[in-house]
Amino acid sequence: MGVDQLLATTRRLRGPGGCPWDQEQTLASLAPYIIEESYELADAMQEGDPASLKEELGDVLFQLALVTQLAQEHGWFDIEAVAQAANQKMIRRHPHVFGDAKAGTADEVVAQWALIKAQEKQSLPSRHPVDHIPKQLPALSQQVKLQSLADASGVSVPSGTPEALAQWVSLCATSDNPGPVVGSLLMELVSFCRHHRIDPEHELNDMNRTLRQSLRDDSAEGPV
């Protein structure tokens, strides 16, 4: 009932006499909102507050309803087709639950999932491996994946050595146009992290959490 009402509300917002903002949205314009709402949902999941989790799930659900409505207006598919395709995929990728395959541990499930996913890709139109790396990933995570793909493809990537890092730091301090130099330094730093099995996105997020807490503590100590 609630889902049907949400879909009806979304159609009304997009339809005649609806909301001017919703009516002018496109798939491209909605992409940043999907990403932002997903991050807010991830925050709520980590905090574990039921009220916040419910609200953020609702925000993501509305964005999905809105994107699906646009697809339906293009004559591509509706929400039923999306749900049916997702259901079929989950059944296909869990043969240890819905079929005769055996997978007794989480690691075995992951390996089986990867094999089935690879088999599915063989039946799809050929795509370059780089096209499987989402452009909307955070820049650090995207760079890690791109460098890993470059390694596998024999393409030259930054060395990530302490000497290279020091050289780029020095150039940053003396360059008249430090922007691109900083970009190269970040690439070297990502390479350094890869070679030392460090997740740069995770480590920077840890620093962000520390700084957030410091800002809260400093605000609490200041004048009311």
Q: Over the stretch 183-204, which tens digit does the pLDDT of each residue have?
A: 999 999 999 999 999 999 999 9
- Region 34-58 average pLDDT: 94
Angle (nearest 5°) at CA 91 between 90 and 95: 115
Q: Over the stretch 50-59, which tens digit does the pLDDT of each residue have?
A: 999 999 999 9
| C-alpha span between 101 and 93 (Å, rounded) | 11
Give the pLDDT band (50/70/90) at residue 222.
low
Give the pLDDT band (50/70/90) at residue 224.
very low
Asked if residue 72 has pLDDT above 60, the reply is yes
> What average pLDDT is seen over the chain?
92
Q: Over the stretch 121-162, which tens digit does the pLDDT of each residue have?
A: 887 777 888 988 888 889 999 999 999 999 989 999 999 999
Q: Which pair of tokens denotes residue 10?
A: 């979304």
Which pLDDT belongs to residue 1?
78
Which helix (H) or strand (E) is 49 found in, with range? Answer: none
- Region 95-111 average pLDDT: 94
| C-alpha span between 58 and 36 (Å, rounded) | 13
Q: 132 Cβ partners below 8 Å, 6+ apart? A: none
Give the burial class of 110: count Cβ atoms within 10 A of its Cβ; 0-12 exposed, 13-18 middle, 19 or more buried.
exposed
Question: Which of 35-49, 63-77, 107-121, 124-138 shows the lowest per-residue confidence on average (mean pLDDT)?
Answer: 124-138
Which pLDDT belongs to residue 216?
87
In CATH, the architecture of 2-92 is Orthogonal Bundle (1.10)
Which pLDDT belongs to residue 221?
67
Q: Over the stretch 13-32, which tens digit does the pLDDT of each residue have?
A: 999 999 999 999 999 999 99
Domain definitions of the chain by residue range: 2-92, 130-221
SS3 of 197, please? Answer: coil
